[in-house]
Amino acid sequence: MAECIAMALDKNLDIQIRRLQPTIDLYNLDATRGYYDLTFNLNATHRFNSSPGSPDPNSVLFEKSSDSYTESYGPSFTQQLGTGGRVTLNGDLIRRSGSSFTKGYNYSTDAGLSLTQPLLKNAWIDSTRQTILVNKHTLKIDELALRNQVMTTVNSVQQAYFELVFARDNVRVQEASLGLAEKLLADNKRRVEVGALAPLDEKQSESQVAARRSDLISARRDLEIQVNNLKNLIGDDFGAWATTALEPADKLLALAQTLNVQDSWRHSLALRPDLQQAREQIERQNIVLRYNHNQLFPSLDLTLTYGHNGIGQTLPTGLNGIQRGDNQFYSYGFVLSFPLSNRTAKNNYKSGKLTKELLLLEFKRLEQGIIVEIDNAVKQAQTAYEKIEATRQARLYAEAALDAEQKKLENGKSTSFFVLQLQRDLSAARSAEIRALADYNKSLSTLSKSEGTTLEKANIGLEFK
């Protein structure tokens, strides 16, 4: 079984599919964080303007028109802040020339810093921060989904393995049953030949041999089905496994377990991935609700600007004012805006509150369902363990009864009908015993999954990078 579980962890298609989603979530999370990357901007424009001349008051003629050329270059860096604000460092270089500039060029420069910071709406959470926090919880939810899938697959492998062992042992039971029927048929033929037995007893024996052979064919077919079920769980290329025979190395054992419903409940509430997923969904909805609540407030933004500028006939003289820190400029103010009805924000907030209430009810339903599931699983395991001893005793009694009836037949005090009936009873008792062993081991596996302890009991560690 350990080999099968190891192969399933590596090759099971359900695990491979589920394993990709957390990686996708990481890319989505990093993509959202890219909103806070430093941004460089550069604009360069060239502008020409020709202005008509104005009338000369001392003449009927117009003054000569003027031409101007303006070149502007504006590099800037913009950084979005984790507080919802934005800071920009920018510089502008403008060169003017034309008929109005008799000395060639005129240079003007400025460099400054501007800040915009929300004080109410989008202050403690905005859409970007909401998305990042939501994506973090989505990543955690999908990691738990992967953990749940691994647990489900391990449990499925265990269940399939126990079914395979049962199917193998049941084939042996049916082979032994066929052997008994064939031996009785051979003995009856000899008795008929010497006249010690009626031909009807031989026909009854032949009928039972045919019936036992049919049972063996069915048992072998079931074994092939169980082999295919296990192959499907532990590999991702069934075609490559089609001609491979699987021989389970483990036997069905009845290892007594201490079962305690209270302990199982505590384990499940702490370890069940689906329960942890439900908690994460509630926390994720809390983030959405927090954002929706913040959108109820009016938008009030603080704006600050500070910098220096310069002007000159050459580029160095135009930069002197900035270099010396002369010619300061600054501004500050507030920008207030709000929708008069704000229906969108109000209804989003109400919807978010109801969604959280829905998630809480679903969590309670899941928690209650788990408690019931564990109680049933514990009772099922206890019942399965008790059936093992009962079926073992039934098998021992069936063996003793058949042995006694065969001796009576040999002494002429019984008939083939009763021996055949007891052979059928023994075959059924043997199948029931191994069925009880398989069911007990399957019930323990089911209980482990209900508790959330499947991986721990299988010595499997699962870590996320």
* pLDDT, tens digit (0-9, with 9 covering 90-100), for 262-296: 999 999 999 999 999 999 999 999 999 999 999 99
Distance CA 344, CA 350 (A): 10
Which residue is associated with the tokens 């953990």?
Answer: 147
Q: Tell me the one-letter amino acid at 438.
A: A
Domain with CATH 1.20.1600.10 in the chain: 2-29+130-287+351-457
The amino acid present at 73, given as its one-letter code, is: Y
Counting DSSP H helices and E strands in the chain, the numbers are: 11, 6
Type of residue at 136: K
For helices 343-410 and 261-271, what crossing angle results, to 10°? Answer: 140
Residue 317 clears pLDDT 90, i.e. is over it: no
Task: Summarize pLDDT for 86-129 with one digit per residue, the tens.
Answer: 999 999 988 888 777 766 788 888 899 999 999 999 999 999 99
Interior/surface letters 217-248, b for 16+ CB within 10 angstroms, e for the rest: eebeebbeebbbbbbbbbbeeeeebeeeebeb
pLDDT value, residue 385: 94
Is the confidence at residue 314, as pLDDT, over 60? yes
What are the structure tokens assigned to 152, written together? 């489900």
> Tell me, what's the pLDDT at 184?
82
C-alpha angle 75-80-83 in degrees, rounded to nearest 5: 150
With bands split at pLDDT 50, 70 and 90, how would you rate the model's confidence at 57? low
Report DSSP letters for 402-452, one per residue. Answer: HHHHHHHHHTTSS-HHHHHHHHHHHHHHHHHHHHHHHHHHHHHHHHHHHHT
Integer Cα distance of 259 and 440 in angstroms = 13
Spell 91-108 as b/e; 16+ CB within 10 A means b.
Answer: bbbbbbebeeeeeebbbb
> Checking DSSP bridges between strand 86-98 and strand 299-312, what pairing results, if any?
unpaired
Among residues 110, 83, 88, the alpha carbon closest in space to that of 308 is found at 110
Q: How far is CA 326 from CA 74, 94, 307, 309, 361, in A?
A: 20, 18, 10, 7, 66
pLDDT for residue 413: 80
Q: What is the pLDDT of residue 58?
A: 61
Q: Which residues contact 393 (CB under 8 A, 6 or more apart)?
A: none
Please, is 42 exposed, middle or buried when counting C-beta atoms within 10 Å of its C-beta (0-12, 13-18, 19+)?
Answer: exposed
Structure confidence at residue 382 as a pLDDT band (50, 70, 90): very high
Of 67 and 447, the one with more pLDDT: 447
Q: Hey, what are 340's tokens?
A: 């008069």
Q: What average pLDDT score do residues 30-44 get? A: 94
Single-letter code of the amino acid located at 240? A
- What does DSSP assign to residue 35? G
pTM across the whole model: 0.86
**Token representation of residue 414:** 């019984």
CATH superfamily to which 2-29+130-287+351-457 belongs:
Outer membrane efflux proteins (OEP) (1.20.1600.10)
Q: What is the pLDDT of residue 59?
A: 57
pLDDT per residue over 15-34, tens digit each? 999 999 999 999 999 999 99
